[in-house]
Amino acid sequence: MEAQSHTIPALEKALEMLELLAMARDGLRQTELCEKLGLSTSTAYRMLRTLLARNWVLRKKNGVFVLGNGMLPIFTRFQSSVQRISAARQAVHSLSERIDMACKLSIRRGNEQVTIERAEPVGPYSLVSVVNSSFPVIEGSVGAALLVDESQEAILRLAEGCRLDLLEKRQPETILQGIASIRYNGYVLNTNPNRWNVAAMSAPLRDAEGAVACALTIIGTKRDFSGKNKQRLAKELLNTIKEIGSNDGIAVSKQ
């Protein structure tokens, strides 16, 4: 049974609606939401009326819907994550410049991992996915970093529900081993064959409450992480995360 069977479809669509509105700087009309979410006019109307009643969305005079102030209590709970991620966005660029390698920052969005910041040296080709690109949350070193606090049962459900034929889907022990590496070393190095033909080293960045806020990743070739380079890059990665959290003293990872 796929992981999707454990969710409520209508609630999933409502959450997707809020995510779309969060990403749309100028808001969206009801017709646009229907098109993007595959909803009927009546269903979208009822969802919007429910969200309007809670002030989670507002309707402007021009008919465009935007997020409302009713969500502020929720955002306040995650303020430390927002602040930490904001600092991490800048750190991605300084880390990339310091080690002369590609780096990226990723967050979890449901069953996906989403790239929210990228940086890489000038070169003939790109190693880093574009900002806002998304992949299955279980994939690669990023997946292990974002899911480090999840139970084995939850990981297996995510692997089972993945629609792409990934190594992590066929062999869930791969991501479980990555998670074990993070819990022991603070980071994971993934040099397994993948669809991107790259190697990557990731570590979780936690918020002030200790929850995983995002994953910081160094990307290169398998050779880039060989020999003494592996320990050097791991030290750079973990030191960067420590510096980001130095203001409130949060540990790099739970041991």
* Res 62 pLDDT > 80: yes
The pLDDT, as a whole number, for residue 85 is: 87
CATH classification code of 3-74 = 1.10.10.10
Q: What is the pLDDT of residues 192-203, one digit of tens each?
A: 988 888 999 999
pTM exceeds 0.75: no
User: Bigger pLDDT: 74 or 161?
Assistant: 161
CB 176 within 8 A of CB 159: no
Average pLDDT, the chain: 88
The pLDDT, as a whole number, for residue 187 is: 98
β pairing state of 57-59 and 65-67: antiparallel
Reference 70, options 58, 82, 54, 46; nearest CA is 54
Q: Where are the domains of the chain?
A: 3-74, 78-244
CATH fold, domain 78-244, is Beta-Lactamase (3.30.450)
Upper half-sphere CA count for residue 107 (Cβ side, 13 Å)? 15
